[in-house]
Amino acid sequence: MSLKEKINTSKLPQHIAIIMDGNGRWAKQHGEERIFGHENGVKSVRETVETAAEIGIKYLTLYAFSTENWNRPQEEVIALMQLLVYTINAETETLNKNSIRLEAIGDLSSLPEDCYNELQEAIENTKTNSRMTLVLALSYSSRWEIVNAVKKIAQKIENKTLTSSEINEDTISQHLCTSKIPDPELMIRTSGEHRISNFLLWQLAYSELYFTDKFWPDFGKEDLYQAILDYQNRERRFGKTSEQLV
């Protein structure tokens, strides 16, 4: 039985989030510059997006560039932004063919203008697609997002459209960039690092975490199946006891 056949399609996570890590080390392993790793990471993005849509995942969030990544050497940042523009442009047709809607979260206004425009165009051109939503986290960090949410909530209190006693968990969720997206049930990180790196801190509160040693450019179909199977074999108790679940 193949890994794919073992997946229980009635117990799929609705939303999978991925920290695509290890491009630089993959390139080094191949005796190449870091950007070669990023270029090869695009193949994994394509394969993961298509596989996720094909098996029926509804939301896939990919951490593509963090707020902290702006601190990388300028030439790497520029190369990454160019790759992003090129990829978004080249992939829009495939997204439409597969009925995948593109969304983005993060401080998009800090992106270079061509990148921002390309992104908005792709979002606009795919907005009626309904099979899966692909969310790119770009210039994203969770603390930035939470600070923003707090500011927006404070503003409403100043305007007297909200009182502090009305604030609950939903108030916070509704003011995050992900207000229209359900929390991920499964978070995958590649490259052997076991950390969150400022990704979806609020939304991952009860997600199952899956780590693989593979570098992102080596991540493919079978690895995604493996992660989903691992997820399906876990008991999600949400604070209850095992006995209470049956």
- Catalytic residue list: 21, 69
For residues 178 and 103, the answer to whether their CB atoms sit within 8 Å is no
CA-CA distance, 109 to 191, in Å (whole number)? 29
- Beta carbon of residue 67, minimum distance to Mg ion (angstroms, whole number): 14
CA 36 to chain centre: 22
- 223 in contact with Mg ion (CB under 5 A): no
- 21 in contact with Mg ion (CB under 5 A): yes
User: Is the CB of 21 or the CB of 185 nearer to Mg ion?
Assistant: 21
* Contacts with ligand IPE, residue ranges (CB under 6 A): 19-25, 63-66, 68-69, 80, 191, 193, 195, 197, 216
Residue 25 touches which member of Mg ion, ligand IPE, none, C-beta under 5-8 Å by kind: ligand IPE
Residues 6+ apart with CB under 8 A from 104: 119, 123, 135, 136, 137, 138
CA-CA distance, 113 to 110, in Å (whole number)? 9
| Near Mg ion in 58-87, by CB under 5 A | none
Residues found in the chain: 246
- Beta carbon of residue 241, minimum distance to ligand IPE (angstroms, whole number): 35
- 218 in contact with Mg ion (CB under 5 A): no
CA-CA distance, 6 to 213, in Å (whole number)? 22
- Determine the interface stretch with Mg ion among 13-21, 129-137, 202-210, 220-228 (rule: CB under 5 A): 13-21
User: Is the CB of 59 or the CB of 65 nearer to Mg ion?
Assistant: 65
Rounded alpha-carbon distances, angstroms, from residue 135 to 64, 140, 238: 10, 11, 26
- Beta carbon of residue 28, minimum distance to ligand IPE (angstroms, whole number): 7
Site residues for Mg ion per CB under 5 A:
21
